[in-house]
Structure 1
Amino acid sequence: MPSPSLTIDTPAGAVHATAGPRQDDAVVFELGGAVRGSVHVTGTHHPLHWDQFTAIRACLGPVNAYQTTAPDEDLPRLARGRTGYRGSLTLYRDAADRPQVTVYPMRTDADHELSEKTAAVLTAVLRMCAEDVAQRADLPAIWDAARQRDTPSLLRFLIWSVSHHQAEAARFEREAREAREAREAREAQPARRAAVADWWTVARWFTAAPHPVLLLMLADLPHSLARTVAVMQWLSPYCLDRAAEEHERARRAQAEVASLHAQQRGPTRRNTRGEVALTSATP
């Protein structure tokens, strides 16, 4: 069970964080001790699975920094400082069910970088607040509220992402085809075949008797035969690999779109890891 008040040991001293009543999709902690201000903790999607609301995000300030910007005067400050701080942290579990943390860049209210000590203090505060919310009995309600809040914007992004990745895949496939055709055309040219034969002749000379002049003739310089041959050899396979990656990204995004639509249509339940599973759905 979460504690109503946390004591967090930091390089700047002890920080006391007291959780207020849950605000539908979030819990706000009031800070005292070495840090003054507040931390906003809410549910969010897993960084690698955008259709699964199984992560927790903690933001410096009293509001969700991904929806609105907290006024400078409401940002957390060190007990003896006047500088406000912005930043956030996401807590989630990996495929092996181990806790992982992603810390997003923290800046001052004047958009300056933080010292290493200050960053360590604020990271410790954000993580402890997030971990406290992770133990709450009402965490599933926080995740469900986050899903309802974020699904429309996620769908817009993912639908755009499907089209973007499909277009990128088509572009790489086109470049692979053009590179293959160019290579075949050049290989069919007698002058090129002769040039390649000359290159290998020079290479054999260099192997038999290394000399700086021969090395210069073999060098991979801009617009050189060596560069042209090398590029044509790897460009087509490289583009095909990139096209396959883009097709896979489009497939994953499309699957996440379908999952989010299904979650919108029917009631859901959560398994022990917080992953959403449909209990019913209507067309």
Structure 2
Amino acid sequence: MTSPSLCTDTAAGPVYATAGPCRGDAIVFELKGAVRGSVHVTGTTHPRHWDQFTAVRACLGPVNEFKSTAPDEALPRLAHSRTGYRGSLTLYSDDLGLPQVSVYPIRSASDHDPSQRTRTILTCVLRACAEHVAQHADLPVILDASRQRDTPGLLRFLTWSADHHQATAARLKHESLAALRAQRAAVALWWTAARWFTRCPHPVLLLMLADLPGSLPRRISVAQWMTAYGPRAASDEHALARRDRAESASLRAQQRSAPRARRASAANST
């Protein structure tokens, strides 16, 4: 049994989107009217909190484009047009609980940009479908199934990301210490050249002392910048690594608690 159609008014005319039954982690809408084809809506993570499955993502086409690719002929297209389009929209709430959207670039099947009119029409359709699922009674089921589907891949990515940030922090610390040594050596050499210049004002010494490309003052300036920048940037990288590890720990905790929650839910329903 399908639900009643949503009607979205667009610049090309009304678009009717009929929701099919919940498929565990997704709902697929069939489109009629000014746009033909389908839209796949599933759960996903909040854009800024990868351990929180609180958002929904609507993709043009009958499948989750982040997991598989729909054939060109299955992509949505404007009525009376042969051009199909790919793209997605994520609907989430900001820190104040207000709805926000993030649009993944909409491109034609031949990888061309659509017109602004077409982009606006398809974005409106994606948002309408996403908003419908966000209010759907099966949303908790969809989000839980999406979390089960995506957690293994997220854990692999977050582990890689934490290691990458940690390695970057170590590199920045090493470069900062090297810059400090280079700065001290360049300053000492500048003062040596300055003493020589006071005794014998030679043009070569003047070039060494002047603020010119490749000169000692420029080398000192670059080293000073790196000496100050390196520790701050390394601290930021350490913070990102800690965030990745915290989100990994949160996802693993959700993995462990999910089976118990499902067993409890099943017991209460019997």
Instruction: Say which structure is richer in helix.
Output: 2
AA aligned to 2:176 is A
- Residue 68 to residue 221, structure 1, CA distance change in 2 (3 Å): farther
Does the 8 A contact of 1:39 with 1:61 survive in 2? Answer: yes
| Separation of aligned partners in 2, 1:239 and 1:11 | 52
Give the number of equivalent residue pairs: 250
Aligned to 1:55: 55
Q: Secondary structure at the match of 1:106?
A: strand
Aligned to 1:263: 254
Structure 1 residues 132-167: Cα deviation after superposition (integer angstroms, max 9, x where no partner): 101111111110000000000000111111111100
Identity of aligned residues (%): 62
Aligned to 2:79: 79
Aligned to 2:268: none
Query: Per-residue deviation at 1:99?
Result: 0.9
Aligned to 1:160: 160
- Residue 121 to residue 162, structure 1, CA distance change in 2 (3 Å): same
The unaligned stretches of length 5 or more in structure 1 are 199-215, 271-283
Does the 8 A contact of 1:186 with 1:192 survive in 2? Answer: no
Query: Per-residue deviation at 1:4?
Result: 2.7
Q: Secondary structure at the match of 1:102?
A: strand
Query: Per-residue deviation at 1:193?
Result: 6.5
| Separation of aligned partners in 2, 1:21 and 1:223 | 68
| Separation of aligned partners in 1, 2:248 and 2:259 | 16
Extract structure 1 runs of 4+ deviating beyond 6 A.
Answer: 216-220
Query: Per-residue deviation at 1:12?
Result: 1.5
* Residue 9 of structure 1 pairs with residue 5 of structure 2: no
| Separation of aligned partners in 2, 1:58 and 1:33 | 19
Aligned to 1:68: 68
| Separation of aligned partners in 2, 1:73 and 1:266 | 42
The unaligned stretches of length 5 or more in structure 2 are 199-206, 262-270
* Residue 229 of structure 1 pairs with residue 220 of structure 2: yes
Does the 8 A contact of 2:58 with 2:129 survive in 1? Answer: yes
TM-score for both structures, normalised by structure 2: 0.87
| Separation of aligned partners in 1, 2:96 and 2:259 | 24
CA RMSD of aligned residues (A): 2.3
TM-score for both structures, normalised by structure 1: 0.83
Aligned to 1:178: 178
Aligned to 1:111: 111
- Residue 194 to residue 125, structure 1, CA distance change in 2 (3 Å): same
